[in-house]
Copies of this chain bind each other. A is one copy, B any other.
Amino acid sequence: MTDLEISQKAKLEKINVIAEKIGLTEDDYEQYGKYKAKVNLDVLERNADKKDGKLILVTAITPTPPGEGKSTVTVGLTQALNKFGYKSIAALREPSLGPVFGMKGGATGGGMSQVVPMEEINLHFTGDLHAISAAHNLISTCIDNHINHGNELDIDVNNITWKRVLDMNDRALRNIVIGLGGKINGIPRESSFQITVASEIMAIFCLAESITDLKNRIGEIVFGYNRKGEILKVKQLNVQGAAASLLKEAIKPNLVQTLENTPVFIHGGPFANIAHGCNSVLATKTALKLSDYVVTEAGFGADLGAEKFLDIKARKANLEPNVIVLVATVRALKHHGSNMDGNKDSIETLKKGMTNLEKHIENMQKYNVPLVVAINKFVTDTDEEIEEITKFCNKKGVEAALCEIWEKGGEGGKELVEKVMDAIEKNEKSKVKFSPLYDEKLPIKEKIEIICREIYGADGVKFMPKALNNIKKYTENGYDKLPICISKTQKSLSDNSNLLGRPEGFEVTINEVRLSAGAGFLVAMAGEIIDMPGLPKKTSAELIDIDDNGVITGLF
């Protein structure tokens, strides 16, 4: 059975039943169909004095292109926690249509560990990504409209950093010229579209703590420069109120359920390279008030998603992760051991690949948060392979748990639950407290260097002239105290996607630094990072169909 077929056979509970399980009354949420709801923001306010639940962060080793099942483990773990007597909510990101129609498919887990209704969450859900696109493009439109009607702000058309967005893998929109066809059709200039999940509005949406915070952050966005080289903010266009109004409903966290009828928040979904890669602060915080254990996920490998979760989201939102679950698979470790010269399917290849896991373990240990490795079992994995990984982890002082949640759902996460609970308990006693990797008050270059050396294992960082100029400008304008969001390949710990395992003896090259003043971080561009993916020759879109009863097939 495909994931979609499993999900369509699931016995869903009505969303009001799910809401009731976490103590919500009818006035606390808005139903969106029978199986989706949006939870009102005052639930968080009203529970302000209530003690937070424990926060479990799920991350992974450097992934292969199809991913290592981080979402599946996140969903499986929350199912397992509930099954074994611990009240738990999962907090996930919303899927983007780009991957849905591209190579990767949906983002609601897999096998017996899925969030449902799968097709609705993947295809339209409650329209949040669309609302974010509209808010983003309203600003874009108003920039060109301002230029067209006299350009009072003296916007430099060659120095507008704000693009347009679409939630689609549309390669042909990466480099465009707009405003052609004479004066009444705008002013010609080069521009670009990003995918919506790369929008700064998405990052802001996921870091905002209230509607007013959302609006103020949108106002603080730097969209470009005037011809004197001075920064220009969205509030100078005076459309932050309209942009925030477009997000009035979207900003409320979405409540859905797993195949085992346990509650899940799915809300916001910024890219894990150009942005910080985790669901909204509002969803995480609301979930922490409504349950004892919140399982959340950060995008790509731990060098990208977890680092940003810990150094940006957790720091900014004052969150304290109680345990980190690092997902590893035999497939990915072999990939790292093969060093790309074929798929050597041997225990030796696996052992060689273990260096990647090793580095991620060491990285996570730098944050003073206890760690458990979750071995996400594929049906082809042998006992010997699993044992090899377990032994390796134990040697590094870390517990490893075999996860059969893809095959068995929550039941398959028994060992993981036990080891996660042990780790939390031990940590409670030890009084070692989570701390971010670097002090955000350090100079920009220094912060970038710390991440590259400590997390990626680089010997050093090479700053290109453009990056140095950017850094100078941001420092002059008082934007130097922001945390760093490094945008680099997810395929390697380094900035070179060909370097598998645990690369050493390399330098990271920073080409450019971008300012996300509304989100509150600086994006350091390590290599060519595409903020608008493309589709493969054979798209997933061609497999998808719908019948007259609205039943969808072919989505994965």
Contacts of A549 in B (CB 8 A): 211
Chain A 522-553 interface residues, beta-carbon cutoff 8 Å to B? 534-537, 539, 541-542, 544-550, 552
Chain A 134-182 interface residues, beta-carbon cutoff 8 Å to B? 134, 137-138, 140-142, 144-145, 148-150, 164, 166-181
- Give A179 Cβ to nearest chain B Cβ, in Å: 4
Any B CB within 8 A of the CB of A103 = no
Any B CB within 8 A of the CB of A97 = yes
Q: Quick check: A144 and B131 within 8 Å, CB to CB?
A: no
Any B CB within 8 A of the CB of A212 = yes
Any B CB within 8 A of the CB of A34 = yes
The CA-CA distance from A184 to B215 in the complex, in Å, is 37
Any B CB within 8 A of the CB of A386 = no
Partner among B168, B537, B544 whose Cβ is within 8 Å of the Cβ of A149: B537
Partner among B130, B175, B241 whose Cβ is within 8 Å of the Cβ of A554: B241
The CA-CA distance from A495 to B38 in the complex, in Å, is 48
Q: Quick check: B167 and A544 within 8 Å, CB to CB?
A: no
Closest to A170 in B: B141
Any B CB within 8 A of the CB of A284 = no
Partner among B123, B248, B541 whose Cβ is within 8 Å of the Cβ of A248: B123
Q: Quick check: A177 and B176 within 8 Å, CB to CB?
A: yes
Q: Quick check: A172 and B168 within 8 Å, CB to CB?
A: no
Q: A138-B168, A211-B547, A211-B550 are in contact. Are A124 and B541 (CB under 8 A)?
A: no
Contacts of A210 in B (CB 8 A): 548
Contacts of A149 in B (CB 8 A): 536-537
Q: Quick check: A142 and B535 within 8 Å, CB to CB?
A: yes
The CA-CA distance from A149 to B138 in the complex, in Å, is 33
Any B CB within 8 A of the CB of A250 = yes
Would you give 16 A-B contacts (Cβ < 8 Å), ordered by A? A30-B33, A30-B34, A33-B38, A123-B246, A124-B248, A130-B130, A141-B168, A142-B535, A164-B166, A176-B180, A177-B177, A212-B547, A212-B548, A239-B539, A239-B542, A241-B546
Q: A245-B555, A550-B211 are in contact. Are A179 and B172 (CB under 8 A)?
A: yes
Q: Quick check: A186 and B172 within 8 Å, CB to CB?
A: yes
Contacts of A241 in B (CB 8 A): 544-546, 554
Q: Quick check: B545 and A134 within 8 Å, CB to CB?
A: no
> Which bucket holds chain A's interface residue count?
35 or more
Contacts of A534 in B (CB 8 A): 145, 148, 184
Any B CB within 8 A of the CB of A256 = no
Any B CB within 8 A of the CB of A338 = no
Any B CB within 8 A of the CB of A320 = no
Q: A101-B138, A130-B133, A178-B176 are in contact. Are A242 and B542 (CB under 8 A)?
A: yes
- Give A146 Cβ to nearest chain B Cβ, in Å: 9
Q: Quick check: B137 and A168 within 8 Å, CB to CB?
A: yes
Contacts of A33 in B (CB 8 A): 30-32, 38, 249
Any B CB within 8 A of the CB of A127 = yes
The CA-CA distance from A328 to B215 in the complex, in Å, is 41
Partner among B174, B238, B544 whose Cβ is within 8 Å of the Cβ of A186: B174
Contacts of A123 in B (CB 8 A): 245-246, 248
Any B CB within 8 A of the CB of A244 = yes
Any B CB within 8 A of the CB of A119 = yes
- Give A211 Cβ to nearest chain B Cβ, in Å: 5
- Give A553 Cβ to nearest chain B Cβ, in Å: 8
- Give A100 Cβ to nearest chain B Cβ, in Å: 9
Any B CB within 8 A of the CB of A2 = no
Contacts of A546 in B (CB 8 A): 211, 215, 241, 244-245, 248
Q: Quick check: A144 and B172 within 8 Å, CB to CB?
A: yes
Contacts of A38 in B (CB 8 A): 33
Any B CB within 8 A of the CB of A343 = no
The CA-CA distance from A241 to B539 in the complex, in Å, is 13
Chain A 188-221 interface residues, beta-carbon cutoff 8 Å to B? 210-212, 215
Any B CB within 8 A of the CB of A120 = yes
- Give A266 Cβ to nearest chain B Cβ, in Å: 15
Q: Quick check: B544 and A242 within 8 Å, CB to CB?
A: yes
Contacts of A138 in B (CB 8 A): 97, 101, 168, 541
Any B CB within 8 A of the CB of A72 = no
Q: Quick check: B174 and A185 within 8 Å, CB to CB?
A: yes
Q: A30-B34, A149-B537, A172-B148 are in contact. Are A552 and B245 (CB under 8 A)?
A: yes
Chain A 235-274 interface residues, beta-carbon cutoff 8 Å to B? 237-239, 241-242, 244-246, 248-250
Partner among B170, B179, B246, B548 whose Cβ is within 8 Å of the Cβ of A140: B170
Q: Quick check: A211 and B542 within 8 Å, CB to CB?
A: no
Q: Quick check: A537 and B144 within 8 Å, CB to CB?
A: no
- Give A231 Cβ to nearest chain B Cβ, in Å: 20
Contacts of A238 in B (CB 8 A): 542
Q: Quick check: B30 and A30 within 8 Å, CB to CB?
A: no
Contacts of A552 in B (CB 8 A): 245, 248
- Give A130 Cβ to nearest chain B Cβ, in Å: 3
Any B CB within 8 A of the CB of A291 = no
Any B CB within 8 A of the CB of A187 = yes
